[in-house]
Structure 1
Amino acid sequence: MPQTLRPGEPAPALVRPGVLRSSIEVEPLTCTLGAEISGVSLADAARDDGLFAEIKSLLLRHKVLFLRDQDITRAEHVLFARRFGELEDHPVAGSDPDHPGLVRIYKELDSPAEHYENALHTDGTWRENPSMGAVLRCVESPPVGGDTIWVDMVEAYNRLPEHIRTQIEDLRARHSIEATFGAVLPEEKRHALKALFPDAEHPVVRTHPETGEKILFVNAFTTHFVNYHTPRNVRFGQDYAPGANLLLNYLISQASVPEYQVRFRWRKNSVAVWDNRSTQHYAVQDYWPAVRKMERAGIVGGRPV
């Protein structure tokens, strides 16, 4: 059973800090989220059980890890990510043909569509089993700009007003690929995408399966609550519409609070490893007409509870 933590209590490490290898240096970047680690190669961690366990321990504690100067091959990238679990394809972006599960996120100059980036989100919540996490490597970075922001959704939940936490404890919500990635597709293809990935339903507050932490689990893929219209919440029609939408928008907006965020500036061969269950992220689109090329291995997750 997962350990239940008090609000604000840090996640436990899988490996005691005293046994971490002396070569690994850890620099926390905020009080709750993000750490830059050095003195380690992910190519080595892909083949070394003990080293991988240390990195996973740090990931559970800091939720997102950053590494510089990781001059690794695509095969080593995939091999390391697979230590966490099986890799997943993306139905829109696709995968590298020689390395299944490795998605190329290349922002080129020849398409206006490439100038659009995204919103704050948790990867794949439109799936029944959203991503567990991801390993993202920078292949080519702009000279300036193109940072990525991550958000600590454990801290976002912990700092909600108590009456809001009570109100949302049993709520569930829909998450849609049709309303996001599918929105730019012709109607027939959009409907086919939804048929392949019907809207998923998840708890608004999920529990981390390894740390027991409570997580605010709504994001840009979330469209509506499915069990809000009850006597407990609705006295008049105004309570439901727009009342439910106002509450959902308030919850989604928590990811925009700077105190819950960490921002990372990319360089070639920088890598981010994040826990997708407890974070959101946002790729800042401020570098056009420069080019930004990233490669991501997403890891299959479990059903949120």
Structure 2
Amino acid sequence: MRQHRSVIFPSLVTIFLCSLLLASSLTALGAAMRLLDAEKNLYTVEAFLPDDVSMDSVKVIRERLEHRKYVDSVSFISADSALRDFRSHFSAEMLELVEGNPLPPYFRMTVKEENQNPGDLAGLVNALSSEDYFEEVQAPVEWVEKIAAWKFKMIFWPICISVLLLITLSLIICNSVRLSLLSRKLLVENMKYAGGSYFFIEFPFVLQGAIQGFLGSGFAVVLLFATIRSLTQSLPIISVYAQGVGFAFVAVVLLVTFLSGYFSFSTVRKFLKVKRSEQD
């Protein structure tokens, strides 16, 4: 490898770049899948009630909501429960300038799975907003619409890019082995004429290809892992979407190493078969 570094080094750099893009693409695909899983939680509607609503009215309204179209489940959150939930998620200093409990009671509704689409969610919000007993009705309709518009692209493009990168990696490795064979053609032919077995001749090339794949992909995933770790430390909110990247990185290293070894083996085997047929 040291003697033929002029051939191996460009290939190693290209494998590094392709592995970096491949790992990035798989990371983006994993983040998109987690985002789509979290999308189900967005199909939630909150309908706020007046502060002076009676418990009898709450029971009547709840029964109506449970029989409403698109509604899967209904839960009532009292003003005290809403305040406790607010304090568990936000600083208590935000309520220091407010006397008493400024949070109203409300109903939280989830949408049925078969109706989890932007149109049905917006229809439910509009229907509830027309009711007189609700002061305000809110739901993340805009976010749901944006995710629905980008859902196909978030899955399709990372998969396409990953497949294209795998094809590119295969071509790069094949060309690298061919160049390495051409530079050592005389040595391989002499080994063949001296009675060297296929395994004896192929093993150094397979080992070289596996080392190239391992080093190139290894450097790529280490660089990407350090970048993602730095981003998650700066923006902790994205750490949820970065979970499991370690498994994806290990898979990239193993896959690229396997492809490098396999295509090195197949290229050398084809070369030896051609030489054998020429001798015959």
TM-score tier after normalising by the smaller chain length: under 0.3
Where is the helix percentage greater, Structure 1 or Structure 2? 2
TM-score, reference length from structure 1: 0.22
Q: Give the structure with higher Rg (CA).
A: 2
Report the TM-score, using the length of structure 2 for normalisation.
Answer: 0.23
Higher strand share: 1
